[in-house]
Amino acid sequence: MPPASFSQHKGFDEIVRAADAARNADQMQDAIKLYRQGVSLRPTWQDGWWWLGSLYYDQDRFTESDAALDRFVALSPKPGPAYAFLGLCEYETRQYARSLEHFRKWALDGSPGTTDLIDVASFHWALLLTREGRFVQALYLLAAKAQRRGASAALTEAMGLASLRMTSLPEGYPPQSREEVWLAGEAAYYFSMQRAARAEDYAGKLLLHYDQTPNVHYFRGTLFGFEKRRDLAKDEYRQELRISPHHAPAMMELARLDLDGGEVSEALALARHAADLEPKNPVAHHVLGQALFAGGQVQESATQLETARRLAPDSSSIRLHLATAYRKLGRTKDAEQELAVFTTLKQKEGVLLPPEELQDLAHDPAGQAK
């Protein structure tokens, strides 16, 4: 009589073959039952946990899928697309913090998966980034999806929410704001598709009907800024500050434009105010560091840029500006270290990036903004 371990091993192999055969024959309930038997017999069976999680996901059994994929990730040295599926499961079960973390890990792993998975995962990641107030990053992901897939009602709504800086999921914002969100979303969509005339049309309608609504002039200013129409952008940011006097992002963008035009004094005042209003915002400290450097206050500039680096260690542009400040201060070794990190960060930039790498995407100092 064979040993018990041999008998169990033989039973496991038979279960594997039967589970794969049921899955390939679209007999999903049988496949799930067999995969569950397999992982029960051998808890370290990576493929079993993967297929179990995938089958649960296909049936919208997100809690069960999440649990199975968690086991797969714990066992696999290269989880690949599993992080994206975990993020999607946790989005559906409203575990938003875990979902964001898994989407970020997915991006750090190179955003593996099919085109369909990339589209779905990046879209839901963008929704969560908008909810978290990380609007630039959300719009970057949504614009990439627009360029791959074209228009859709869901995409327009998502782009509108991010453009108007509304920290809400699509199902959560007030119904009376839907026209405003739609107009902004259409403008953002057509701008991302480089159809400037259509974007201008929708942006004009947005201003016509919502001239006194917060964030509308800021959004209009960002479009002018991307078009290099700096004077018009500055006018819009100033108008936003008349409506919303504590609008730190408008201060930051206006300060950037002032620096471009050599107006260092106003840039410094605006950047200081923005950093006071949002002390945990790396972009605020970055802009302040740039303004201080332009004003000849190099040591203070380095201090602000170090704060920005601490808050956003994966921002390549912060690293580059900090290297410049260090070199000006004679800190050659520190400058070389920052330049090395900058080079590494630039080399790994791709279609999808972790949020920290997108802090200053629209103002890339190396001229490589996507």
Confidence band for 361, pLDDT divided at 50, 70 and 90 = very low
pTM of the model as a whole: 0.84
Cβ proximity of 270 and 252 under 8 Å: yes
Contact 85, 70 (CB under 8 A): no
CA angle 212, 251, 224 (to 5 degrees): 65
At 352 the pLDDT is: 44
Model pLDDT, residue 67:
97
pLDDT per residue as tens digits for the range 185-196: 999 999 999 999
Cα Dmax for the chain: 90
Measure the CA dihedral 362/270/293/221, to 10°: 20
pLDDT in tens, 126-169: 999 999 999 999 999 999 999 998 999 999 999 999 999 999 99
Element (H, E) at 78: none
User: What is the structure's pLDDT at 359?
Assistant: 40
Q: How many helices (H) and strands (E) does the chain have?
A: 19, 0
- 60-103 pLDDT, tens digit per residue, is 999 999 999 999 999 998 898 999 999 999 999 999 999 999 99
More confident residue, 107 or 181: 181
**C-alpha torsion 277→168→133→240, nearest 10:** -50
Tens digits of per-residue pLDDT, 243-267?
999 999 999 999 999 999 999 999 9
Collapsing DSSP to helix, strand or coil, 80 comes out as: coil
The DSSP code for 363 is G
Cβ atoms of residues 360 and 126 within 8 Å: no
Query: Binning pLDDT at 50, 70 and 90, where does residue 1 land?
Result: very low
Contacts of 74 (CB under 8 A, 6+ apart): none
Separation CA 122–CA 144 (nearest Å): 9
* Ordered domains of the chain (ranges, CATH): 1-113 (1.25.40.10), 114-245 (1.25.40), 247-370 (1.25.40.10)
Identify the pLDDT of residue 200: 93
Q: How confident is the model at residue 351 (pLDDT cuts 50, 70, 90)?
A: very low
